[in-house]
Amino acid sequence: MRYINFEGENTISPDDFFMNEALREAKLALAEDEIPIGAIVVCKGQIIGRGHNLTERLTDVSAHAEMQAMTAAANFMGGKYLKDCTLYVTLEPCVMCAGASYWFQVSKIVFGAYDVRMGFGRLNQKVTHPKTEIIGGRIFLNRSGRRWVRGGGRKTLT
């Protein structure tokens, strides 16, 4: 785990930095022929949990990036709650992962791109914790020079 200092000039914002770290996890998923979604959990400027999709390798439909990262973070913290922690994920969490963030009591979720097909935002009900702040669709993927490309049945990250 490493600590990051964001003071000074010519630095990227913490959200951009941590979203790029989530993108690194997505690239690991892609290299493992998984759906390329990555997530990290940050508490007080420290990455305390990382994860990427492992549904194929583990043959477990619940092995989403967010679940991996939140579980790793809770283990690191030695407890079950992630109060004062932020979940960064490259794609809007699904209903299952958003619901899990409720039980982990994640303080903030930042996601890079909306998922109009499976994202929790398409529901009319709130599934995250009432105190959870949501920052979504900020196009971090474009600002970092990368974007998702879907075509021909292949998963790519440029």
Residues recognised as catalytic: 66
Owner of token pair 């492992």? 54
User: Residue 108's closest CA among 27, 43, 30?
Assistant: 43
Distances in Å between the alpha carbon of 107 and those of 3, 31, 42, 154?
19, 31, 10, 34
Q: How far apart are CA 39 and CA 132, in angstroms?
A: 17
Residue with tokens 């790029």: 20
